Structure 1
């Protein structure tokens, strides 16, 4: 990575030596003792894509080896962007069009720099603002495609000059009516974009959720006090908020954070935030969002783009976050352990079914295998419906008891809850089914139980330092809250076990019915009526 210092108020644009760099790097800024500098940073996914085409596309490969073929390379990616319906070669990536947009955006980074510099009159603040405006346009795949589609070879200017003029016009338009404001940027961006921008900036949970929650109420106050203020003329710049706006925002935040619908990461910390903290958080948001164009390609998801109305094809992500289980399993071991558990469940359930009474087996087979309801079963088997219901309930209870013996939730739930409270209470992993259940359970606890958890695990206060509560009472409340969490988690696990059993029985018996009927008739089960199927399956169970 090469960097260059500025010679005047505007940082110097580093050179990109070859065609590969011109279509696979993007600008990042950094502050040093010598002032603001710019650097070209490689984007691995774009480098890999170029290498792929160099090895498989003979014509494009030749373009990349010749410095004077830059126009041909630009036109190649432009045609890809504008012809989304084209057939893919077997070696081409499925997100070919998206990558083509990214190659062109990388190339037009220089045009953004020069468009901003030509309009800023040497003022560094203006240059930074104009540069962000230009990049927001280039990195919007829909806008970029629109620019490319409007360009025609009949124009007197070439494509690069045309794009430069579009950027200049866009900057002039935004700057002339003062629409582009850092506070407008903060207000307009979606929660998904802000969440990912904060992650790129290095902010982590639970602060990310707290910041997004704070912005929600800041936006409400800012909209009414500043944007919708009758004193503000339409089209004028979105002015900076004042201290009163932050004071009002913090009032909403501190009141709303105690409500059940509030995100757990917010309610887990009972400490009231201050107006200064809200202000600092909003400045962090702006900083993260101003870096959004610099990070959109490698970091931002399809969901974040779509939340802004964009349409783009995202590169498939095959990596999944593995949940650490007591820190003793590798990813492969976790997978093996899970597979062994599935095999064990299949085995014990199958064995339990085999030793059930034939009447119970018959009802289960017809109920889950053919999908007959209790009323239909009663009519077909000439048995009272209450008997059918009793048989099903008894069979289900036996199977649930068998599954409960496998899961042994009573044995591990207490230890899991204790570890979760200590490790993940302030920033739970919502994608983890058990942790999500615990977050939901916390919200259903009594207010004094939630409060003690917030003080002890949210603020990590020691027992003897919790105000107005002695150690014995603190211990009692903590144990009570933990016991309730354990009970609720076990209840949720029992619901999961029941749902799992229903799905397992349905899949098991449907497969059994299909196989049995297929073996009985060469032409398939279409030749059997429902009555014939019932009669056949009754005999099948007896045998």
Structure 2
């Protein structure tokens, strides 16, 4: 059961859970008793079938049944009670329209999808007295009335109580993407502070009306905090590069967040949303296949690896005898710089410089294959144009660029935010910052250069890590070969 807003008003939509439908189809073809129950007019037999399996792990398990059959039985029962949630909420709403019917449904589903409470309720169920759906409706009616009496689960409580992780997932499933997700989360932080101080902790708020409606002043005050804090280092990159927000905009963000949470309230759903479980299993299979494909390597990747290996081997052979011995002692035998310095009768600083010289020589050899000084400029320009507001944090270079942006001075950060974040031209920026247009262009060029240097520095770090691993492996093999030949 989901809430649909596409037709201009809220309405209930029913969706089939494909993974549970497949489970039913499996039992229909493999289990004669279950197939017979499907053909009966009463659904009570099917309900009892899942109850026996969920509560008592009966009947005896067949080899073709899923390992988690009891868990699936509980899922079937929870989804079976979805209609009872709707019926109970509708009945209570007809009696008392103090709250909207979606909130009454929310109370009911909280109970049905709470594993501990739901199992306790079913443990008290007596099938000889009433069908399960009737029993559940009565339980839910009482629950809804108890919960709804004090506005305990108002939409503003829902917004304030959910964690960042839950809100983030709800927004993404609702179709909100970055950079909006980060901005919604950041705005919620300051709305909560203002709302709790002005409304929740306000002595004038009467008991039973704790989660009252915020007013325009609350949203305006939260927007002021948002705009003041977004320039600080603690603000996410997606927030820092965005425009200031108004109280009306922030109110719209909070309303959207509430709608997203109501559509996918994690407190009433399984660990993996029932709606996407089938898709998740497919994605997992796809991801595994992708990892295997990377491990096997494409012809281009193999060629690049072979080229890198050949170039580095060539550089090692071109080293003088002292350099080769230093590498052998350092990577094969694990000597530290002080021990190596004692052997060569020189200072530890001299050994450190020699290792740095060798490292830079190997880094330059790797650079010769991909020529980063040539492509980094275009890479940074493309990132600023298309990924500045929505960096991919799984990409090490993107992450390095975000860090580099935060280390720029305030003026440079403002320039990037206005030019690449808000898409203003240089004349508009010139007027806003009270700087000549030629100075704006010069500062933008200088900022781009600083980011390019940051990328090259990150590439250096990445290559150093790679070289350290590669050299350790190379000299490990050399040591093992020497030991094998001696034995």
Query: TM-score, normalising length from structure 2?
Result: 0.82
The 1:46–1:207 alpha-carbon spacing in structure 2 relative to 1, beyond 3 Å, is same
Distance in 2, matches of 1:370 and 1:455, equals 54
What residue number does 1:254 align with? 227
For structure 1, the 5+ residue unaligned runs are 1-25, 303-313, 324-329, 522-543
Could you give the per-residue CA deviations for residues 317-336 of structure 1, whole angstroms, max 9, x where no partner exists?
3445999xxxxxx9999955
What residue number does 2:376 align with? 413
Equivalent residue for 2:81, pick from 104, 108, 112: 108
1:383-462 maps to which residues of 2 (within 5 A)? 386=348, 389=352, 391-462=354-425
What residue number does 1:342 align with? 305
What residue number does 1:278 align with? 250
**Preserved contact between residue 332 and residue 479 of structure 2 (Cα < 8 Å):** yes
**Count of residues in Structure 1 that have an aligned counterpart in Structure 2:** 472
What residue number does 2:113 align with? 139
Q: CA deviation at 1:179?
A: 0.6
Secondary structure class of the residue paired with 2:470: helix
Distance in 2, matches of 1:301 and 1:515, equals 54
The 1:147–1:208 alpha-carbon spacing in structure 2 relative to 1, beyond 3 Å, is same
Q: CA deviation at 1:246?
A: 1.2
Q: CA deviation at 1:168?
A: 2.6
The 1:155–1:71 alpha-carbon spacing in structure 2 relative to 1, beyond 3 Å, is closer
Q: CA deviation at 1:208?
A: 1.6
What residue number does 1:202 align with? 175
Distance in 1, matches of 2:112 and 2:456, equals 52
1:225-264 maps to which residues of 2 (within 5 A)? 225-233=198-206, 236-264=209-237
For structure 2, the 5+ residue unaligned runs are 275-279
**Preserved contact between residue 373 and residue 456 of structure 2 (Cα < 8 Å):** yes
**Preserved contact between residue 109 and residue 268 of structure 2 (Cα < 8 Å):** no
What residue number does 2:165 align with? 192
Equivalent residue for 2:451, pick from 474, 485, 489: 485
Are residue 317 (structure 1) and residue 280 (structure 2) matched?
A: no
Are residue 502 (structure 1) and residue 468 (structure 2) matched?
A: yes
**Preserved contact between residue 237 and residue 402 of structure 2 (Cα < 8 Å):** yes
What residue number does 2:16 align with? 42
Query: TM-score, normalising length from structure 1?
Result: 0.74
The 1:31–1:359 alpha-carbon spacing in structure 2 relative to 1, beyond 3 Å, is closer
Q: CA deviation at 1:42?
A: 2.5
Distance in 2, matches of 1:496 and 1:200, equals 35
Q: CA deviation at 1:173?
A: 1.9
Q: CA deviation at 1:417?
A: 0.7
Q: CA deviation at 1:45?
A: 3.4
Q: CA deviation at 1:118?
A: 2.3
